[in-house]
Structure formats: C-alpha cells, structure tokens
Amino acid sequence: MNTELLQNFAAGRWQTGTTEGTTLFDPVLGTALVRVSNAGLDLKEAFSFARRQGGSAMRALSYKQRAAMLEEIVKVLSENKAAYYDIATANSGTTTRDSAVDIDGGIFTLATYAKMGHKLGDNHMMLDGERIRMGKDPLFQTQHFLTPTPGVALFINAFNFPSWGLWEKAAPALLSGVPVIIKPATATAWLTQRMVQDVVNANILPVGALSVICGSSSGLMDQLEAFDVVSFTGSADTGRIIRSHPAVAEKSVRCNIEADSLNSALLDPNTQVDSEVFQLLVAEVVREMTVKSGQKCTAIRRVFVPAPLYQATAQAISAKLKKISVGNPRNETVRMGSLVSQEQHQHVLSGIATLKQEADVLFDGNPADLVDADKHLAACVAPVLLGTQTPETAQVLHDIEVFGPVATLMAYQDIHQAYALIQRGLGSLVMSVYSDDPSFIAQTSAVLGSHHGRIHAISPDVASLHTGHGNVMPMSLHGGPARAGGGEELGGLRALNFYHRRTALQASTSALDALAQTATPLVY
C-alpha cells in the first residue's frame, strides 16, 4: 500500500506503529489518503514521560509565559492554514466555509485563551474568592486557592471537529500547565496529527507537553493515574464505558463527558408569519442543518413552532433547503459537502428511516443529483426535514439523534406543552429561542435553564450580531446536563477549573498575605 503511515508523537519522539494500520479515505472520491496505527507503542512510557517531563516543565512556567506559547502556536497554525484546508476537504469532505468553522474556530479559541492568560500574570496559582473569617477574630481566616493538577490530560475526541475539538480542550489545559495527550477519532485523524506535528516541530512547548496518538484507543484509559484528567467527546455509550473504567471509578480520575444532544429551537407563540422573528428562525434552522452537513453536536435537531405556523414554517424551510447544492466540496458551486465516512453515511440513512416511523417527510433533497460526485460512491446525504403535528405522542423523535443534515419540525399547542416537549430531550448542549419579547426570553431561560448548557436568544435587535445557535464561543460554557454528558468546557477562565485542584488554606492573616503575593485572583 502506497499511502503514508502517520507518525505518533509520544514519550518525546516521533514513533510509527508496527502494523499496516487503518486507512483513511476521501469520503467523496473514495480514494485512500493516509494510514494510522499506534501498535507497538509503549503507552506506559508515553504517559509517564508526559507527566514527568512535560508536566514539570509546564508547571515551572507562569500563566503569562504559557499564554505567550499559545500565541506562538496560533502563529504556526495560521501560517499553515492552506495545508489544513486541503486536508479537511480530502479527509472530512467539507467545503471551504465548513472547514473554517473547524480550523479557524480552533485557532480563534487558542488566541482567546492566550489573551486571557496574559491577564493572569507571572504567578503559578490562583486565588478563588475572598477570604472568609473562621470566627469573630479576623486573625484566623480561610482562603481558597487553585494549583495545576500534577497529572496529564487525555483527550479522546470526536470525528467532526479534528481541529477545534483539539484546541478548545488543549488551550485551557496548556494554559493551566497540564500536558496533553490527544487521541483523535480515527476517521479524521489526519488534520489533528498534522497540526500537532507542526506545533511540535516548531519547538514552542517543552517536550512532552503535547502528544498525539492515532489509531486504536485500546489501553489508553488503563494508563491514567489519580491526578490525571480525561475529557471525551462522542457517543453516550462510549461515555458510559469511560465513566465505569477503574481509573474513574476507583482512582477518581476527573472526567468530562460531552455526549448525544437533541438540541432544540423554540419560536415564540406570539410570532407572526410575516415577522422578522419568523425569518430568523427559518434561516437559523437551515444553517444548522447544512453547516458541516449537520455533523455538529450543537446542531438543531428539534424545531418547536406554534401549531398555526406549522405549515408555513415547513414551506419556508423547505424552500431554502431546495437551494442547497450538495456534492464535491472542491466545486465552488457546492454549498454542502459529504459526511466524513461511509460508516457515518449508513448511520444517518438508518437514523432517518427510524425517525420516519413517527414523522412525515416535509423535504428530502436526496432524489437530486450530486454536483461533481457519484451518489453511489460519495458519502453525501442531502438535507431532510421531517415533521409531526402530534409530538406529544412521539417517542424516538425525542430520543434518537441523527448526526447529519436532519431536523424535525414539531407543532405545539401552548407554551407549557412546548416547554414539556423540550424537556423530553433530557438535557442538551444548547437551545435557541426566537422572539422579540425580552420577557419571554427571560421566562424561557428560567424554565429551561436547568436542561441546557447554553441558551441562545435570537431577536431582531441582534440579528446581525449573534454568533449562531451552533457556534461554540470560548467565552461561553460548552457542555450540557444529563444525556448531553453532564460536562463543562470553555466558559472563559472557568475552563481552567478542570485542570486545577482547589485547596482551602486556613491560617493567620499574615500567612494569607504571603499566599496572596504569589497568586493571581481568579476573576471570571
């Protein structure tokens, strides 16, 4: 086989797997690209080296010094963006616009944390909150402070964001002084490996601070020790396996899970069909269905509209979806590329068939020909809008997420029913609200806040300003309760909490004064 076998960077050196490995394919053309394998790697050595060498060197640096390193990483990645776009097109089947969400989004997140890190200054730990008296006499008080965990951060990532998925986790980890071992999803590992390779070769970070292991995840969790952390993005089934692993269950390894999410969009019951609010909902649903071919953990899956507007909404969304050209992302006329693999192609088609058991097909773009692509070869699925006017009787529509360009329109009779139906999703990463009534937005946030990691309110006054239902910004929390995994990432400096240990120092005011001289107050 002539395809290149990508190297792993572990234990401070580049290493090649000892087997032929797994071949990655172009999901549109079906051609072989590269291979990945970590067979023969000494995983124990890799984790030990990262803790001992990478961790010690990173913790010796201040927040400001580590922030400067993030800035240098941004420069390296920015200089090599052209190559990353080529890889994304070939390996993920994404258009230039969709590749930017992943590549530029990852670089932007790194740059944001670099700026935050400079504000933390030259210290090596942070103060958390104010001092609290332990009694009537102020001489003896308690002060909470944060220090970086002396372990390693293992990231097991999903296939849909090989760039952003890496850097949104790595940025706060490296800023905290914690070494990173990244295990990218095999199907799209090429971009992650190339980015790590460019950063390692630039000699920005201490050796061992950043590692990449491609291929099988077997044995990785077995290497975790008590002060390590693991962050996973992917299916709820795999999340359950990670939570039950002895490293988590017995050693109390800190664990962050981002899993399935049936994200919702809610239209204000007082909306008129000729209003700007209505048009904002339609535009956002179409965008969320088609960006990255719907392969986003934050994409809109369920759309709740007042029953009198059901037909009008279906027609408006369908009219826009009809204009979406699907096919080879190399063709400039193509608006939506492919899914990342034939495996995902089959999963999405199977999922659509399941949802059809409880929903009508309102729009299906799949009968149309693909642009510059063979529909029998390419892993392309055109947008599919399903719908039901009786969502209260549905089961699978509130339980199964189809990870592709698919959404289900649902009619509600009153707002209380809408709230109850949204809650049947059992927790999600994000929901969006479409209204020009601030009181309604506030009411909805209060009722549904406990079920969502983020609520994105879109009103006419922010029509040209909002960042989008599905765009994850580093300033806001990313994660969600219950079925969404129960995890939290980003949220500005809140992300650093995952990589620090909180301690309470109970001491005299003079001792607390000494502590304060060596720590930066943490201000979210």
Which tokens belong to 229?
A: 């952390």
3-state DSSP percent of the chain in helix, strand and coil, to 5: 40, 25, 35
- Cα(91)–Cα(107) distance, rounded to whole angstroms? 19
Structure-token match 């690209």, residue found? 33
CA 26, distance to chain mean position in Å, is 23
Query: Which residues belong to the active site?
Result: 258, 297
Contacts 24+ apart (CB under 8 A), 205-208: 205/54, 205/58, 205/69, 205/73, 205/174, 206/53, 206/54, 206/57, 206/58, 207/12, 207/53, 207/54, 207/57, 208/11, 208/12, 208/49, 208/50, 208/52, 208/53, 208/54, 208/55, 208/57, 208/179
Question: CB 422: neighbour CB atoms within 10 A?
Answer: 25
Which tokens belong to 267?
A: 């239209």
Which tokens belong to 294?
A: 């719907």
List strand residue ranges (DSSP E) for 426-518, in order.
428-434, 452-458, 477-478, 489-490, 500-508
